[in-house]
Amino acid sequence: MGGPYSGATGAVLRKELRTWLRDPQRITTATVPVAWALGTALLPLTFGAKLLLPWAGPALPLMAVASAYNLYSQDGTALWLTLMTGSQRADIRGRQWAGLLVFGPLTVAVSIAFTAWSGCTWAWPWVAALVPALLGGGIGIMSYASVAALVPGPDAHKRPDNPLDRADTTGQSNVLFWAAVVPALPAATAVTLGVMLSNPVLLWLGAPIGVATGILLAWWLGRVAINRLTAKGPELLFLMRTGRSSRPGTAAGTRTGTGPRVEAKPEVSRRTAVISLLLWIFGSLTLFPQGLVPLVILITGAPVRSWFLALYMPDAWSWVTDFAMISIGTVLYSQAIRITARGSRNQRTTSPETGDPTEGPEPLQVR
């Protein structure tokens, strides 16, 4: 077997790299994670704090998952070429290699440069453990979510000039952002134990664990994505062409065969949409900057308070406050996910069934 640049996988890889460099929407997709990670890490410099600089590297692949997972929707009905040629495996693997080449070198460079700039020597084991786990796991999650959580948008040849005018992936992106944290848990656990037990072996064991976790998840989730694309490819193509599920009897005001008329569920109200947005915002604030970040600071014993409420509390109350913030954030996020998922299901059922489908290739016939 050849490397990633050979055969059908290599062809997909080269095509994807050109797309990342030329397509305005892909360029936006690539720059958003960089801007968010660097902006978050550099903001505390306004009051002379360098604490967040080492976390710029791990933050970049986290946001990359939320930003870059909906790639099949961006390509639109071009998916029929992949299905007709039976090149699902090459297409998934080529996209994974392209994502690694786009985000990998930049993530490593930012991690090394910003950690050295911060002067926080205690952060090196954390960065060495988290970056490979988040990067490899993120590549796997992106490939799987691209086929399992696709949000239809304008087809490539009908896309508006504005690169921000695209499919609304707000709910899915919020969920995937936190799902992307999961690959880092094994490596983070090893580093945490190393800090608490003052054991340098455990402290640096997180790095190989992170590498192994990243490689395993990238390969395994890619394989799951290949199987799903092979099995559900025609349904995905139909979804991208029409904006609705291919399941019969789910559209608004339609009849299923000779059966009774099926009434669609109502769309999400404005009030519910506002509540969902507030849940996402306050869930993010309590879970991450007021919960998880102070937890790492408390574990490492770094002499920093910044704007973290738990770090201003006396002794044991710091831990109590921190876990309270994590609990509140988890509850808010679970409610936001529930409302968003319900709204997505309702929105799919209200798509019009009548009239001709959007332009594009004929749907594949599954025999």
Taking only the tens place, the pLDDT of each residue in 129-159 is 999 999 999 999 999 998 988 888 776 666 6
Percent of the chain whose pLDDT exceeds 70: 77
Q: Does a structural domain hold residue 29?
A: yes
How does pLDDT run across 336-347, given as a tens digit for each residue? 777 766 665 555
Residue 252 lies in a domain: no
Q: Flag whether pLDDT at 160 surpasses 60.
A: yes
If asked whether residues 208 and 149 sit together in one domain, one would say yes
Which residue bears the tokens 């086929």? Answer: 147
| Residue 91 and residue 139 in one domain | yes
Which of 211, 243, 275 is the last residue before a domain boundary?
243
* Residue 17 in this model has a pLDDT that exceeds 60: yes
- 23/90 same-domain check: yes
Structural domains of the chain, count: 2
| Number of other CB atoms surrounding residue 124 within 10 Å | 17
Confidence (pLDDT) at 354: 37
161 falls within a domain = no
Residues 15 and 145 in one domain: yes
Same-domain check for residues 277 and 237: no
**Model pLDDT for residues 173-187, shown as the tens digit of each residue:** 777 887 888 899 899
Shared domain check, 52 and 135: yes
Q: What is the pLDDT of residue 264?
A: 42
Cβ–Cβ under 8 Å, residues 318 and 298? yes
Task: List phi, psi (to 5°) of 256.
Answer: -100, 100
Residue 14 scores a pLDDT above 80: yes
Shared domain for 274 and 235, answered yes or no, is no
Q: What's the pLDDT score for residue 102?
A: 95
349, 264 Cβ separation under 8 angstroms:
yes
Residue 360 lies in a domain: no
Is residue 141 domain-shared with residue 183, that is, in the same domain? Answer: yes
Query: Residue 82 in 3-state DSSP?
Result: helix
Is residue 1's pLDDT more than 50?
A: no
Name the H helices within the chain. 7-22, 24-42, 56-68, 71-75, 79-85, 88-118, 124-148, 170-179, 185-197, 200-242, 270-287, 293-300, 316-349
Taking only the tens place, the pLDDT of each residue in 104-113 is 999 999 999 9
Contact yes or no for 193/114 (Cβ under 8 A): no
Q: Quick one: 87 exposed, middle or buried, by C-beta within 10 A (0-12, 13-18, 19+)? A: middle
CA 321 to each of CA 309, 328, 356, 362: distance values in angstroms, whole numbers, following the listed order: 8, 10, 57, 57
The amino acid sitting at 187 is A
Contact between 245 and 344 under an 8 Å Cβ cutoff? The reply is no
Does 208 lie in the same domain as 134? yes
> Residue 165: what pLDDT?
57
Residue 251 in domain: no
Same domain, yes or no, for 348 and 268?
Answer: yes
Q: Is 227 found in the same domain as 102?
A: yes
For the whole model, what pTM was predicted?
A: 0.74
Q: Residue 362 falls within a domain, yes or no?
A: no
Do 335 and 272 contact (CB within 8 A), yes or no?
no
Mean pLDDT of all residues in the chain?
A: 80
Burial of residue 98 (CB within 10 Å: 0-12, 13-18, 19+) is buried
Residue 255 lies in a domain: no
pLDDT band for position 314 (cuts 50, 70, 90): confident
* Domain hosting residue 29, numbered range: 1-155+168-243
pLDDT tens digit sequence for 233-255: 888 888 887 766 655 444 444 44
Stronger pLDDT, 300 or 145, i.e. the higher one? 145
195 and 336 inside one domain: no
